Amino acid sequence: MDDAHSVSQKLLECARVLASLLGIRAMKIWDISRTLSHDLAEWPGDEPFRFRATNEIAKGASVNLGAITMSVHNGTHADAPEAPDHRRRS
35-70, pLDDT tens digit by residue? 788 888 788 888 888 999 999 999 999 999 999 998
Is a pLDDT exceeding 50 seen at residue 78?
yes
On the CB side of 17, CA atoms within 13 Å amount to 6
Once rounded to an integer, what is the mean pLDDT over residues 19-35?
A: 76
By the 10 Å C-beta count (0-12 exposed, 13-18 middle, 19+ buried), 26 is classed as: exposed
Alpha-carbon gap, residue 86 to 15, rounded angstroms:
32
For residue 60, the model assigns a pLDDT of 96
Q: Please report, rounded to a whole number, the percentage of residues in the chain having pLDDT higher than 70.
A: 74
Residue 50's beta-bridge partner residues? 69
Once rounded to an integer, what is the mean pLDDT over residues 13-21?
A: 81
For residue 86, the model assigns a pLDDT of 57
- The answer to whether 70 touches 48, Cβ cutoff 8 Å, is yes
The structure's pTM equals: 0.49
- The answer to whether 72 touches 83, Cβ cutoff 8 Å, is no
